[in-house]
Amino acid sequence: MRHVHGRARRAGAALAAAMTWALLLAGAAGCTAGGSGFGGMFGRPAGPDDVIRITPDDARENVRPDQELSVRVPDGHLESVRVVRSQDARETPVPGRISADGRRWKPAEERLALAAKYTVDVVALDGDGHRVARRTTFTTYVPEERFIAYVAPENRSVVGTGMIVSLKFNREITDRAAVERAVSVTARPAAEIRPHWFGTDRLDFRPEHYWKPGTEVTVALEFQDVEGAPGVYGLQDKTFAFTVGRSQVSVVDAAARTLRVTRDGTPLAIVPITAGARKTPTYNGKMVITELLEITRMNSRTVGFGGEYDIPDVPHAVRLTDSGTFLHGNYWSPADTFGRENVSHGCVGLRDVKGGGAETPAGWFFDRSLVGDVVEVVGSDDAEVAPDNGLGGWNMGWERWRAGSALR
C-alpha cells in the first residue's frame, strides 16, 4: 500500500509541473490582455486604460463646460486621436492637435459644449512599441435655464439708414462681457460699429453716423453654451443679415405743425400735421421707425392716460417709440386741424380717412416708409426721447455710446 501511494504522489507532482508549464507557455503566447511575456503571471498586465489616459473619465455624466478634455500617454506616443461631439442630432468633429513630443492631445476649443455626448477614439504605441487602442465616452451638463436674444431687424430685410441692431434678452445678463464677445456685427462697405448696453437685458449696435445706403450688414450670434449669468447658458448659434436701402429722414416741427420729408438729400414734401397738445406734448429728438401697421387699436389706458380714448381702427400707424409714440393717420379730427393746432396725446397725426386712404397724407407717407427710417421731432415743449425708448440711440453722443460697452 505504501508503494502504491508513493507512485501516486510522484504522478501528482508530474501533473502539477505539466500544468504550470502549460500556463507559462500560454502566457508567453500573448494571451494576457495588453501584456507580453510573463508579465501577466506576476502582476496586473498593462491595459489600454493604463497606456492611454483620457480626461474626463469614461462614462462620466454632467461634465461641466470648463472641465479639461485631454488625452495623454505616460510612455510611447499617440498615433491618432479622433473626438466627435453629438449634439442636437448632429455629429461634429472636434479639432485638436498632438503635442510635439507625441504624448499629449488637446482640443482647439477652450470649452466643452453643453448637452452633448463626446466620443474619444485613440490609437497609441506604448513604451515597448505595442499598438493599443481605447474608446471612451462622456456626456456634458444639461442646463435647466437658457437665455436667447430677440433680434431686430428681421433677417434679409431692407431697412432705413437709421436702423440700430438691437438684442433683447429673455433673462438678465450678469456677465455682459462674455455675451458681448459672442456677438459680431460687420458691414460692407466697412464701418466702425460699437455696442452699448441698456441695463442687463438689452444690447444695441450702431455706427457713429447713419448707415450709408446700400450697406450690407451681417450679425453673428454665437451664444451656444455662453454663460450669461450663473447657471444660465446661451442657446443660439445663428447668423442673419440685412441691407440698408435709400436714405429717408423726416423732420416733424411741432411748433410749425409740419412734416418735412427728405429722400437721399432731396426734399419730397412738406405735410401738415397735428402734434401733442400743450399738456401732452410730443417727445423731441431722433426716433426710428420700428413697426408699420396698416391698422391698429390705440387705447389710452395702455399708455397711462386713463380712459380718455379707445380707437379700434387707427390707420397707417408708424411706431416711433416703445412707450407708444406713433406717427399715424387721423380721421376723427376736422381737416383744418392739421397744420393749425396740436391736439394729440403725444403722437403725430396726419390727415386720413376711416379705413385708411392711399392718397391721403398719412397713406402717402406710410407707403414711402421703411423700418429703420428716421423721424426727428423739433420745436416741442417736451424733453428729448430717451436713448432706450425704442431705437432712440441716435440721441446719445458717440463717446458716451462707446462707453456703454462691457469690453471698453
328 is known as an active-site residue: yes
* Gap between the Cα atoms of 215 and 213, Å rounded: 6
pLDDT of residue 87: 83
For residue range 379-390, list pLDDT tens digits in order: 999 999 999 999
Q: What is the mean pLDDT of the chain?
A: 89
Same domain as 227, residue 356: no
Higher pLDDT, 299 or 198: 198
> Do 60 and 96 share a domain, yes or no?
yes
pLDDT above 90: residue 151: yes
Last residue of a domain, one of 245, 263, 287: 245
Of 140, 164, 189, the residue at which a domain comes to its end is 140
**pLDDT of the residue at 290:** 97
Say yes or no to pLDDT of 41 above 50: no
pLDDT over threshold 50, residue 43 = no
* 252 shares a domain with 236: no
Instruction: With respect to residue 380, please indicate whether it lies within any of the assigned structural domains.
Output: yes
Instruction: Quick: pLDDT tens for 240-265.
Output: 999 999 999 999 999 999 999 999 99
Top pLDDT among 45 and 178 is at 178
Residues 6+ apart with CB under 8 A from 333: 274, 343, 349
Report the pLDDT value the prediction gives residue 310, as an integer from 0 to 100: 86
CATH number at residue 87: 2.60.40.3780
Mean pLDDT of 134-163: 95
- Angle (CA) 158-161-163 rounded to 5° is 75
pLDDT tens string 165-190: 999 999 999 999 999 999 999 999 99
Q: In terms of domains, do 307 and 389 share one?
A: yes
Lowest-pLDDT range of 13-22, 151-160, 162-171, 217-226: 13-22
Residue 14 lies in a domain: no
pLDDT of residue 38: 32
Q: Which residues contact 35 (CB under 8 A, 6 or more apart)?
A: 45, 46
Confidence of residue 20 (pLDDT cuts 50, 70, 90): very low
Q: Are residues 126 and 158 in the same domain?
A: no
The C-alpha angle with vertex 67 and arms to 226 and 99, in degrees rounded to 5, equals 110
Do 281 and 365 have their domain in common? yes
Q: What are the angstrom distances between the C-alpha of 294 and each of 251, 259, 328, 356? A: 22, 20, 10, 8
Mapped to the 3 state alphabet, what secondary structure does the chain carry? CHHHHHHHHHHHHHHHHHHHHHHHHHHHCCCCCCCCCCHHHHCCCCCHHHHCEEECCCCEEEECCCCCCEEECCCCEEEEEEEEEEECCEEEECCEEECCCCCEEEECCCCCCCCCEEEEEEEEECCCCCEEEEEEEEEECCCCEEECEEEECCCCEEECCCCCEEEEECCCCCCHHHHHHCEEEEEECCCCEEEEECCCCEEEEEECCCCCCCCEEEEEEECCCCEEECCEEECCEEEEEEEECCCEEEEEECCCCEEEEEECCEEEEEEECECECCCCCCCEEEEECCEEEEEEEEEHHHHCCCCCCEEEEEEEEEECCCCCCEEEEECCCCHHHCCCCCCECCCEEEECCCCCCCCCHHHHHHHCCCCCCEEEEECCCCCECCCCCCCCHHHCCHHHHHCCCCCC
Structure confidence at residue 10 (pLDDT): 39
Residue 46 binned pLDDT confidence (cut-offs 50, 70, 90): low
Residues 205 and 239 in one domain: yes
Residue 342 pLDDT greater than 90, yes or no: yes
For 166, half-sphere exposure in the C-beta direction (CA atoms, 13 angstrom radius) is 22
Indicate whether 193 and 236 sit together in one domain: yes
User: Of 203, 223, 245, which residue sits at a domain end?
Assistant: 245
CATH at 326:
2.40.440.10
**Distance of alpha carbon 69 from alpha carbon 63, whole angstroms:** 10
Q: Quick one: 204 and 333 in the same domain? A: no
The pLDDT value recorded for residue 354 is 95
Report in angstroms the alpha-carbon separations of 178 from 217, 218, 325, 402. Answer: 22, 20, 34, 17
130 noted as active-site residue: no
- Can you tell me which residue has the cell 444690447? 203
Selected residue with higher pLDDT from 148 and 27 = 148
Q: Given pLDDT bands bounded at 50, 70 and 90, which one contains residue 30?
A: very low
State residue 159's pLDDT score.
Answer: 98
- Range with the poorest average pLDDT among 2-16, 71-85, 298-312: 2-16
Residue 12 lies in a domain: no
The pLDDT value recorded for residue 3 is 43
Residues 6+ apart with CB under 8 A from 51: 34, 73, 74, 75, 76, 124, 126, 132, 134
**Choice among 196, 316, 328, 345 that is catalytic:** 328
In a domain, 286, yes or no: yes
**259, 366 in Cβ contact below 8 A?**
no
CATH of residue 199's domain is 2.60.40.3710
Q: What is the pLDDT of residues 279-291, one digit of tens each?
A: 999 999 999 999 9
- Contacts with 311 (C-beta within 8 Å, 6 or more apart), sequence order: 297, 298, 299, 332
Same-domain pairing of 241 and 253: no
How far is 67 from 110, CA to CA, in rounded Å?
9
Say if residue 29's pLDDT is above 60.
no
Residue 357 lies in a domain: yes
Cross-strand partners of 92: 85
Does residue 17 belong to any structural domain of this protein? no
pLDDT (mean) for 119-126: 95
Please report the pLDDT score of residue 36 as a whole number. Answer: 36
The catalytic residue among 196, 316, 345, 347 is 347
| pLDDT tops 70 at residue 17 | no
pLDDT category of residue 19 using cuts at 50, 70 and 90: very low
Tell me which residue range forms the domain holding 385: 248-395
In this prediction, residue 293 has a pLDDT band, given cuts at 50, 70 and 90, of very high
Do the domain assignments include residue 301?
A: yes
Q: What is the pLDDT, as a whole number, of residue 45?
A: 56
184-241 confidence digits (pLDDT tens)? 999 999 999 999 999 999 999 999 999 999 999 999 999 999 999 999 999 999 999 9
Domain identity same for 207 and 161: yes
The predicted pLDDT at position 384 comes to 98
User: How many domains in the chain?
Assistant: 3
Instruction: Determine the pLDDT at residue 299.
Output: 84
pTM confidence score: 0.77
Same domain, 387 and 253: yes
Q: Is residue 13 part of a domain?
A: no
